[in-house]
């Protein structure tokens, strides 16, 4: 299969804050697309660009050569890929499945095995870069699965971002993303604590953040989430409940492999507290509110 606009048919499942922009880049590049998402209204922008709606993931796959999925949770992935009306049920031999959801490595392997039995190729390709990276086609993609399958879809992935790295066999992309999210979340906890201390000491929190951005503490987490913490902008970029899922996956992997992750375990307590306060749909930057509520005096 040679991927070419006007010839290769794209299927896309999941048009949330990330998927909407990602699918649009492929349509803008001249690929026909059939789409499905839980709430049809979220598909309006890509339908306006010429994409076609289908009523089920299976129906999407029946009209596609390459199927992309980017949904919320592993349970969603299982439903839209492996369910009775899932994408795999509509795939034909020679098709390719690309799951870009941040999900469980074991599920990626399960999908690979089920797809292989039908003569369908499968790769797990979770992304980093957030909604802005999706809009700017500046994502990083970490890929697990057969190298031959990756090379077939690489021209499509290149339209979504400049960095596509093959990490190994099925599940390797998801395992890498779990490690990435572990580092992100522990760093966010550190940023929340640093800015809380600055506020308690009477300093201008945004100025402190700017100084930190010029020093060794600088990071994209401090840049993005730190700015939101300083400005008290907790409107969701990516909802905290999704980061909770990501850290849970990382801790599950650590348990399986006997790895001690003390900072991750502590951070999970704070993310749990944030979710417990009913703020699961707030941005991760709302983590600072949990830290601020602590008082040892």
For the chain, the straight-line distance linking the first and the last C-alpha, in angstroms and rounded, comes to: 66
The answer, yes or no, to whether residue 119 has pLDDT greater than 90, is yes
Q: In the structure encoding, which two tokens stand for residue 80, read together? A: 């839209």
Look at residue 297 in the predicted model and tell me its pLDDT. Answer: 66
Residue range 75-95: mean pLDDT, rounded? 97
CB 264 within 8 A of CB 186: yes
CB 188 within 8 A of CB 221: yes
CA distance 200 to 251: 32
58 catalytic, yes or no?
no
Does the global pTM surpass 0.75?
A: yes
- The per-residue pLDDT for range 280-290, each reduced to its tens digit, is 999 999 999 99
Residue range 159-166: mean pLDDT, rounded? 98
- The per-residue pLDDT for range 217-272, each reduced to its tens digit, is 999 999 999 999 999 999 978 999 999 999 999 999 999 999 999 999 999 999 99
Residue-wise burial string across 47-75, b where 16 or more C-beta atoms lie within 10 A, e elsewhere: beeebeebebbbbbbbbbbbbbbbbbbbe
CB 86 within 8 A of CB 58: yes
- The per-residue pLDDT for range 22-80, each reduced to its tens digit, is 999 999 999 999 999 999 899 999 999 999 999 999 999 999 999 999 999 999 999 99
Q: Which of 49, 58, 116, 177 is catalytic?
A: 177
List domains and CATH numbers for the chain: 9-170 (3.40.50.720), 176-292 (1.10.1040.10)
Q: What are the C-alpha distances in Å from 182 to residues 115, 202, 203, 254?
A: 29, 31, 29, 11
Residue range 114-135: mean pLDDT, rounded? 97
């Amino acid at each position: 299969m040679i991927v070419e606009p006007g010839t290769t048919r794209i299927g896309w499942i999941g048009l949330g804050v990330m998927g909407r922009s990602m699918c649009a880049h492929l349509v803008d590049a001249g690929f026909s697309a059939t789409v499905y998402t839980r709430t049809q209204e979220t598909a309006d922008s890509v339908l306006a660009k010429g994409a076609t709606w289908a009523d089920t993931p299976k129906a999407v796959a029946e009209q596609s050569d390459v199927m992309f999925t980017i949904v919320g949770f592993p349970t969603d992935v299982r439903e839209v890929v492996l369910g009775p009306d899932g994408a795999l049920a509509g795939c034909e031999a020679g098709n390719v499945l690309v799951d870009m959801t941040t999900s469980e490595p074991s599920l990626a392997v399960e999908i690979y095995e089920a797809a292989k039995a039908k003569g369908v190729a499968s790769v797990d390709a979770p992304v980093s870069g957030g909604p802005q990276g999706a809009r700017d086609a500046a994502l990083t993609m970490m890929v697990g699965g057969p190298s031959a399958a990756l090379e077939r879809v690489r021209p499509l992935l290149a339209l979504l971002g400049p960095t596509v790295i093959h990490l190994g066999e099925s599940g390797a992309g998801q395992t890498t993303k779990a490690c990435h999210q572990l580092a992100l979340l522990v760093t966010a906890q550190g940023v929340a604590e640093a800015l809380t201390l600055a506020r308690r000491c009477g300093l201008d929190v945004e100025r402190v953040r700017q100084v930190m951005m010029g020093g060794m503490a600088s990071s994209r987490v401090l840049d993005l989430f730190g700015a939101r913490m300083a400005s008290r902008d907790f409107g969701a970029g990516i909802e905290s409940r999704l980061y909770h899922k990501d850290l849970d996956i990382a801790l599950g992997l650590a348990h399986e492999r006997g790895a001690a992750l003390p900072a991750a375990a502590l951070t999970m307590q704070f993310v749990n507290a944030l979710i417990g306060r009913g703020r699961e749909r707030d941005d991760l930057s709302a983590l600072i509110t949990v830290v601020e509520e602590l008082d040892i005096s």
